[in-house]
Structure 1
Amino acid sequence: MALLSVLWACTRVPEASPDTVASEHEQVEVNPFPPRALPHDWHAFDTRFLHFVSIQVAPEHLDALEHDREQRVPCDISINGVLIHNAGIRQKGGWGSVSTLSGKPGWSLKFDEFVRGQRYRGLDRLLLNNALQDRSLLNEHLAYELYRQAGLAAPRTAHALVVLNGQVYGLYVVREAYDKQTLRGMFGNGSGNLYEGSCCVDFAAPLGSPALLDLKDEQEEGRTREDLEALAAVVEKAPDDALEQKLEALLDVDAYLTSYALEVALAHWDGYSLNLNNYYVYHRPRDGRFVFLPHGMDQLMDRPELDPFQVPRSRLAQRVREHPSLNARFLARLNTVVRAVWNDPAMRARADAVRAVIETAPRDNARVRQELEDFEALFPVQLEQFLGRRVFLEELLQSEP
């Protein structure tokens, strides 16, 4: 029996029909087979193995799954042999990663969408990123680890092979979703306001407003935007001699400066500081201050010689660069990121672990074979881009007065 058929047998959802065709992807027969052995202590973002995900959506829900990017439809899911019945699924992804069912969509899974309290390995949500803009499958995985090494909160990632209605959709990045449970794990309390910024708006004038960000659970829980309005007012109006003190009261300035330094160090041109995109801000309950959370880091190193000192688009970053004390703190953080946090051997080891996992993917499907060819060609190039970026930055910083 081909290994890929074994995979689908290990992850099948018995009650769902395997005959539903969601796209023109190569169809794979699903046959009963015992599940594979996994480490006894495995978890949802385990990086020791390739995760196997099989999803079944009833025919009557396929049109909504194709066209409605807001509401989830019912589905049955098997992840590494764990069955979750009547979960919710919708497509996800911005302009650069959007797709259709006939292509390779990204997915947002919510296990308790229709069954209160339902979980997968303790999670109520999970993201499957299609990596259309990162066929090396490295960017998010390495970047978020660098955030953690710098002492900042960042989502966990792993890798998966995904099937929908018996159709092979290929290799995905498994990513932790920002929700109350994740925020509680990161900060000890997940009840604060969580805002998502979409392209390309700021929370502060002149290129934005707190009203333009998506406040999670705003209507359901009667949340207000007074907290972000207060921070925006400081960014917009505080005089230079009071800016640093006023920001410290509302924003974890050290954490923000570190995240700004990481964005420019990683050549994340499509983030908050440089492009007003791909960012979350969380109002941390324990001290009433905001923190920025990394997001959408799949286009790193597209511009390997990106100038870390270029004029930022975000008003907050602009004020930091214009303020002598804050700018000095930013430069110190950038130096720390490049010279102390960024560890080439550790980064290479983590990348090599990704390659070892991805290369376990079965090769008896045309889509998977093509993605593996792309991965094998792009993996060494992208890894060298990461390592070369650190060298470029170190040389640049040495020339700074």
Structure 2
Amino acid sequence: MDETAKLPQYKLFIKPIDLKELKRDIWIDEPIPAQARIDGKRLEIDVSYRGSHIRDFPKKSYQVTFYKPKIFMGSHQVHLNAEYKDPSMIRNKLSFDFFSEIGVLAPRSRHVFLTLNGQAEGVYLEIESVDEYFLRRRNLPPGSIYYAVDGDANFSLMSDLEKNTKKSLKLGYETKWKDSRNAEYHLQEFIYKINTIPPREFENEIPKYVNVDRYLRWVAGIIFTSNYDGFVHNYSLYRNGETGLFEVIPWDYDATWGRDVNGKLMEADYVPIKGFNTLTARLLSVDRFRQQYRQLLEDIMNYQFTHDFIMPRAEKLLQQIRPFVRQDPYKSSAIEQFDKELKVITQYIEGRRNYLMSKFHKLD
């Protein structure tokens, strides 16, 4: 019996001439046509490489756009992440699931086994796209969605990249979906208000623009998973069309749970308890919001960020994909390291809990 039948299978078929075009320049975003067999269904799709620095890795990540039918399992587009630098291949999913558990909007994901023209490409993480269909699947009000694409998505008037005043308040963002012609205005107004509301008015005014509880939960999620880039990158913004309030959705969380972006071991104190970026700093300068944040951290440490809560979930994911990691041409030689990752995650949780408890006084 084919072992890969135990994981959902993605079978991609690309004409040789189209595959040659895809490989010709890995930095071109133009998709090429392909066919796919997913969960037993035959589909017409478009495929392109995805990511920035990850395109240089031997194992490529892909963006899949459904063409016929246009919608498949409620999605028009999904991402297939190679998880190449994560020795466990579960950190992204473990993080997204954790965010969902603590009350943050987060993408759904699942591990799949990918073949390309009959050749094994290995274990991938299928991640739903954050777009209008993301909102529909959750019965959320329509709203604009913006992707944070670089360090200028820092909620500041100052450029993180140029080290001077931003030339545009839209810097750092790409608009993924507009629910109105005023979508870009709303984004710019949000960034402007974050930076210009006077301190004495901030506590009462900022809740008119951002869902403070959801935002603080997102900050807490970054703090517990230790995604260093999470505060100025690796997220999407959703502006709820009914409330007019912004929420943040996490993205790209493979460099977490004790491993950094290069896959190296991360110290437990790598990300400070107060995090960073302009909006976080301004919120935590308000007594009420800082105490709200502290209470959130304490509650999550009591219930979700514990060995007993996280480790059974991590172990289940590792056991599920292990037979297929052995069949992954890019990962099979690193199976010994894969088998050590449960201990790495365990030690990270213990070290991170100790660090956070030692820093709670900073939130008094």
TM-score, scaled to structure 1: 0.78
Instruction: Provide the rounded CA distance (Å) in 2 between the counterparts of 1:364 and 1:151.
Output: 36
- Give the aligned partner of residue 262 of structure 2: none
Q: 1:214 aligns with which of 171, 174, 178?
A: 174
Q: Which has the larger radius of gyration?
A: 1
Q: What's the counterpart of residue 199 of structure 1?
A: 150
State the secondary structure of the residue aligned to 1:131: coil
The correspondence of residues 310-389 of structure 1 with structure 2, limited to 5 A, is: 312-361=275-324, 363=326, 366-367=329-330, 369-389=332-352
Of the candidates 198, 203, 209, which is equivalent to residue 239 of structure 1? Answer: 198
Residue pair 1:107, 1:129 contacting (<8 A) in 2 also: yes
Q: Does 1:283 align with 2:239?
A: yes
Give the Cα–Cα distance (whole angstroms) in 2 for the partners of residues 126 and 238 of structure 1. Answer: 38
Provide the secondary structure at the position in 1 that maps to 2:228: coil
Q: Is the contact made by 2:273 and 2:359 (CA closer than 8 Å) also made in structure 1? A: no
Q: What is the CA–CA distance in structure 2 between the aligned matches of 1:327 and 1:89, rounded to whole Å?
A: 45
1:106 and 2:61 correspond: yes
- The offset of 1:372, in angstroms, is 3.6
Question: Contact conserved, 2:269 with 2:352, CA < 8 A, in 1?
Answer: no
Deviation of the 1:71 alpha carbon = 2.2
Mapped to 2, the partners of 1:398 and 1:338 lie a distance apart of 15
Change (3 A) 1:366 1:182: closer
Q: Equivalents in 2 of 1:123, 1:107: separation in Å?
A: 15
C-alpha spacing 1:330/1:389, structure 2 compared with 1 (3 Å): same
* Offset at residue 284 of structure 1 (A): 0.9
For 2:222, the aligned partner's letter is E
Aligned 8 A contact 1:335 1:397 in 2: no
Q: Percent identity?
A: 20
SS at match of 2:37: strand
Q: Residues 250-294 of structure 1, C-alpha deviation per residue, up to 9 Å, x if partnerless?
A: 11011101111221222111112xxx1111101012311100001
Across the two proteins, how many residue pairs are aligned to each other?
Answer: 346
Cα separation, 2, equivalents of 1:126 and 1:382: 27
Alignment pair present for 1:89 and 2:42 = no
In structure 2, the residue matched to 1:145 is: 97
Q: Which residue of structure 1 lines up, in the alignment, with residue 162 of structure 2?
A: none
In the alignment, residue 88 of structure 1 is paired with which amino acid?
D
Corresponding residue SS for 2:313: helix
1:129 to 73, 81, 92: 81
Aligned residue identity for 1:89: V
What does residue 266 of structure 1 align with?
Answer: 225
CA contact (8 A) 2:10 2:113 kept: yes
In the TM superposition, what is the alpha-carbon distance from 1:217 to its structure 2 partner?
Answer: 4.3
Partner of 2:250: 294
Shift of 1:92: 0.8
1:302-328 CA-partner distances (Å, limit 9, x unpaired): 333225546654211121233333323
Relative to the length of structure 2, the TM-score reads 0.85
Q: Distance in 2 between matches of 1:169 and 1:372?
A: 16
SS in 2 for 1:360: helix
Q: Helix, strand or coil for the counterpart of 1:155?
A: coil
- Structure 1 residues 387 and 169 mapped into 2: Cα distance closer, same or farther (>3 Å)? farther
Is 1:75 the counterpart of 2:34 in the alignment?
yes
Equivalent residue number for residue 17 of structure 1: none
Unaligned runs of 5+ in 2: 160-165, 260-265
Shift of 1:380: 3.0
| Structure 1 segments unaligned to the other structure (5+ residues) | 8-35, 37-48
SS of equivalent to 1:361? helix
